[in-house]
Amino acid sequence: MESLAILVPCLPVASALFILGFLRTHRQAAARLSVGATALTLLAGAVVFVHYLMVSHVAVVGSGGRWGSLWLDPLSLVLWIFVAGISLIVHIYSVRYMIEEPGYARFFALLDLMTAVILFMVSAADLVTLLVAWFLVGVFLYFLLGHDHRRPAAGRYALWTQLTYRFGDLPLWFAALILIHCYHSISLPVIFARIQQAPHLQLWGLPVTELTGSLVALAAFARSAQFPLHTWLPYTMDGPTPVSALMHAGIVNAGGILFNRFAPLFEHAGWVLHATFAVGLVTAVTGSALMLIQNDIKRSLGYSTMGQMGFMVMECGLGAFPLAVFHLIAHGFFKASLFLGAGDVIGEARAHDAVPPDPIYVSVVERRPAKPSRLPWLVAASLTVLVPLVVLSLSHLFVSRHLFFEQGVLVLLFFGWVTGAQALFAAHKMSQQNPWRLMIGILVSFVIIVIGYTLISHYFGRLLYPDEHESLMLYAAASIHRLSFDALVLILTLIFVGGWALTFLADSRDLGQNLSGRWRSAYLGLYALLSRELYVADAYERLGQILLHWSRRLNVWLGWC
């Protein structure tokens, strides 16, 4: 079985080398080989995963202090199937999508190499393999984003992404050097075992776990487009659509993968998790707000990914590490389907431009009711607030009662309540002839989805972290003082309930159309701020101009030009 495991990341490499060596001019043969190799990779990964479920034995292939070893634990095996599955979908889609593009065979070779380095990255059992794979992901992404040399914008933003990735690599390199220096090994299982034996080891007067944990978190922030290191993500849409799908479905999830791989560090780095939660929260709110004002579908999907990555990092900050993995897998398949279907959406929008029809035609010819009915706003408000709270609480109560004593779980329940309430409120605003039937159908669907999600996430967490003590340690590290936590939950509850009440009131009385001059100015100012993307990209551009100016002056002073 270990020999089969070695084939999983090596099959895409062999396919890429064969294409580059012998099939550069054979377009169809190159595509078939690439798709076939990816399908075999997925099949081999599934076989290894099933074998693990049968024997429940974690193995390290190529151990003994050497680099190039693979860690066959649940996290690696689950991500192998996820990465290979997303890659296979992208490969199949690219067969027809890229048929008229130059460098057809080279594109598939690059896809294979990208798949291989991601597979090595998620299963690396030593720091050298992890760092090399982490670096090569950025390199191959640069070539994939700039695949079309005829588009200057694609090359410019590919370089922008490369620079951001290289900036984010530095903290991870420093963290690796510190871990090797303090624990005298490059093997991750050995390092984590020694951390458990000496969790309070210090370097330069600082705890090693907190120092390296903060560096790993910074590397994850840059790779997962956390604010303010997010600007590269929405500007990479000039690359091929399959690359966008692969990037938003898999590559940008590297931050959550890194948090889970270094989970033993964060068991002893509570303040790092608190900072991670704050960064994820700001990113989630910022990405979601910027997504709403975009007029380009791919740019909107890019900011949607930014918001989802914020939620993923926020889950890590709460100590819910396995939930972050479940989130990135679900988001990966969902976002890949959205990107690959973006062309159909654009075609549908061109065919149906959503221009409001003539009211006489609607009422006479189509015979629609002039004023569709809605639920009374008080009934809708009660359903919106109470149903998500009851369903979420009961589902977690039946799954695991002790989780209610973990602050991270309570915060996740709170955000689940907010999300469910927003979904029900959106359903309330839908005009239907029978609003009760619509609301009952949505409530039944909501209950089924929440219960299924709760059960799957619970057992998925047990798969990734069989030792329940490890999960409790992560939740404990993410906890804050009880009084501060209660105050935070109370403030957030009042804010959201007040916001819902104001929204229902405005919706029922059409107050949104009668804003005073002062409030209208504030609204326009906020819209202008969001339309300029909070001026973060402008600040980076200005910083680049300053660096270029002083570099020219330095060249003149030194006589280099």
Q: How many residues does the chain have?
A: 561
Residue range 189-204: mean pLDDT, rounded: 85
For 387-442, write each residue's pLDDT tens digit.
666 665 665 566 555 555 556 666 666 666 666 665 566 555 555 556 666 666 66
The 8-class DSSP code of residue 355 comes to P
Which segment of 117-126, 288-297, 497-506 scores lowest on mean pLDDT?
497-506
Residue type, 417: W
The 8-class DSSP code of residue 149 comes to T
pLDDT computed for residue 478 by the predictor: 77
Binned at pLDDT 50, 70 and 90, residue 160 comes out as: confident
The 8-class DSSP code of residue 187 comes to B
Looking up tokens 């973006």 gives: 342
Q: Which residue has the higher pLDDT, 515 or 280?
A: 280
pLDDT at 373 over 60: no
| Cβ-contact 261, 75 below 8 angstroms | yes
pLDDT at 175 over 70: yes
3-state secondary structure of 556: helix
Q: Count other C-beta atoms under 10 Å from residue 293's C-beta.
A: 12
Q: Which of 316, 246, 260 is nearest to 122 (CA)?
A: 260
For 499, the token pair is 């916001």
pLDDT at 513 over 70: no
Residue range 90-108: mean pLDDT, rounded: 86
Residue 360 to residues 364, 368, 370, Cα–Cα distance (Å): 6, 10, 10
Q: Count other C-beta atoms under 10 Å from residue 446's C-beta.
A: 18
Q: Which residues contact 61 (CB under 8 A, 6 or more apart)?
A: 2, 5, 6, 69, 70, 72, 125
| Cβ-contact 208, 202 below 8 angstroms | yes
For 217-264, write each residue's pLDDT tens digit.
999 998 888 888 887 887 777 778 888 888 877 788 888 889 989 988
C-alpha span between 71 and 75 (Å, rounded): 9
Spell out the domain ranges in the chain.
377-514, 516-561
Binned at pLDDT 50, 70 and 90, residue 216 comes out as: very high
Q: Which residues contact 127 (CB under 8 A, 6 or more apart)?
A: 67, 176, 179, 180, 186, 188, 191
3-state secondary structure of 13: helix
Q: Which residue has the higher pLDDT, 493 or 427?
A: 493
Q: Which residue has the higher pLDDT, 349 or 162?
A: 162
pLDDT computed for residue 177 by the predictor: 93
pLDDT at 209 over 50: yes
pLDDT computed for residue 300 by the predictor: 79
Q: Which residue has the higher pLDDT, 177 or 509?
A: 177
The CA-CA-CA angle for residues 125, 128, 134, to 5°, reads 90
Q: Which residue has the higher pLDDT, 285 or 455?
A: 285
For 371, the token pair is 């004023």
* Strand pairing report for 206-207 and 202-203: antiparallel
Q: Which of 143, 165, 164 is nearest to 154 (CA)?
A: 143
Q: What percent of the chain has pLDDT over 70?
A: 71
Burial label for 55, CB within 10 Å (0-12, 13-18, 19+), is exposed
Torsion of CA 63, 67, 71, 76, to 10 degrees: -170
pLDDT computed for residue 117 by the predictor: 92
For residue 102, say if its preceding peptide bond is cis, omega within 30 degrees of 0: no
Q: Which H or E run contains 70? A: strand 70-72
Tabulate helix, strand, coil % of the chain (nearest 5).
80, 0, 20
- What is Dmax (Cα atoms) for the chain? 81
pLDDT at 343 over 80: no
C-alpha span between 189 and 194 (Å, rounded): 9
Q: Which residue has the higher pLDDT, 117 or 441?
A: 117
Q: Which residue has the higher pLDDT, 6 or 363?
A: 6
pLDDT computed for residue 43 by the predictor: 93
C-alpha span between 179 and 261 (Å, rounded): 14
pLDDT at 511 over 50: no
| Cβ-contact 455, 397 below 8 angstroms | no
Return the bridge partners of 437, or none.
Answer: none
Cα-Cα-Cα-Cα dihedral sign, residues 488, 491, 496, 499: negative
